[in-house]
Amino acid sequence: MVFLVLLLLGCGDSEDDGKGSGGAGSASTSAGAGGGEGGSGGGPAGLDPRVEACLRINACDADGGTPLGMQACLGHELDQRWAWATTGPRSLGLAAMDCKLAAADCAGVRACTPAAEAFAETCREKPGADLCEGDTWVFCDELGAPLAAMDCAAAGLSCSSDFVAGCGAEPCDYATTAPSCDPADSDVLIECSAAGFLTRVHCPSQYNLVLVNSTEGEKVFTIAGETCGFDEQRGAFGCVGTGEACGFFSQQCDGTVLETCAGGKLSRRDCAAEEPDGQGCGFVQSGQFAGAASCGLVGDACDLGDNEACDGAVLRFCDLGTPAEVDCRAAGYTGCATAEQDGRTIAHCTP
């Protein structure tokens, strides 16, 4: 499974990888009940619920699956803010982590991501495909090998393949279903995804982007709206700004404020007011969104792309830019173990 790594170049007060999840601070060692097969109790006293959830998911996946490490899990919430713009196997990764976070026990965690190797024959016949095998969403690489799989049914959803495949609950026709603003929440855009399911986009927190060809080559512009409304640039409802009119796509950092042209109106998103605390404005330096302006954590003592480690039974990792550690045994697990994942070392508590 693939997750985002957003590296920001600071503009004014900002620099970071743009990953994290609500609430900052180090996860201190603590005692109490932890993982186990159920693993869904209150967690050790004093342990941050975000950290406890990621300890549980990784321990569950270590027993018959593939753990992703603490930092990929903790970074999920900020990764999700790019879900509107995310495509390919990364979109499956986001959906699969949502499934794992909602799972009630280890069986539920593991059910979210069946072994991709089980779909080798399907992919051999359909290289480069993005498809549904029953209710399982599968990505195949260009050589006909399976890249990733998610069981939509494990998340209470079904799999559909329209222009692309994906998991969802409410079917729609991508070609004919017009986007609209939610009558119950004016900040939410409702639109039909290319997989043929209705999706809800929270405009004040989600990012999108547009690619513009120019004499200087292809440029990436962020769309960071403030509310749902008629998008003059799109010719349909979308996420728009509430400021003065703007005639073309633009993005800049005004101190800690991210300013973009969204739907024909300027939108200003105050990164310093975002959760988790400590964010500024900068530009994504690599990956799918390179060149896009974004909010991100600043002044980090560590990076979510760093290696994780075990010191005996103590798991050491980066928690939103702060070095952190958890004593796995004190948290109710049997110990700590490491593995190689996408070219770096990840660590997890063992069940």
Does residue 56 register a pLDDT over 70? yes
Q: What is the mean pLDDT of residues 54-66?
A: 94
Which pLDDT tens digit goes with each residue over 309-349? Answer: 999 999 999 998 889 999 999 999 999 999 998 889 999 99
d(CA 254, CA 136): 44
In whole numbers, what is the pLDDT of the chain averaged over residues?
Answer: 87
Q: What is the pLDDT of residues 234-264, one digit of tens each?
A: 999 999 999 999 989 999 999 999 999 999 9
Which of residues 303 and 147 earns the better pLDDT score? 147
Name the residue among 179, 137, 139 with its Cα closest to residue 158.
Answer: 137
Among 45-49, 123-127, 142-146, whose mean pLDDT is lowest? Answer: 45-49
Q: How many angstroms separate the Cα of 45 from the Cα of each of 50, 51, 214, 340?
A: 13, 12, 56, 30
> What is the dihedral sign for C-alpha 257, 222, 91, 140?
negative
Look at 194 and 21; give whichever has higher pLDDT. Answer: 194
Digit-coded pLDDT (tens) for 94-117: 999 999 999 999 999 999 999 999
Residue 27 or residue 226, greater confidence: 226
Instruction: Please check whether residue 82 is in contact with residue 6, taking contact to mean a CB–CB distance below 8 angstroms.
Output: yes
Pairwise pLDDT comparison (151 vs 66), residue with the higher score:
151
Tokens describing residue 121: 């024959």
Q: Report the 10 Å Cβ neighbour count for 23.
A: 15
Q: What is the pLDDT of residue 8?
A: 52
Supply the pLDDT for residue 15: 35
Q: CA-CA distance, 164 to 175, in Å (whole number)?
A: 13
Q: Encoding tokens for residue 233?
A: 């640039």
* CB-count exposure of residue 271 (10 Å: 0-12, 13-18, 19+): buried
As beta bridge partners, residue 318 has 323
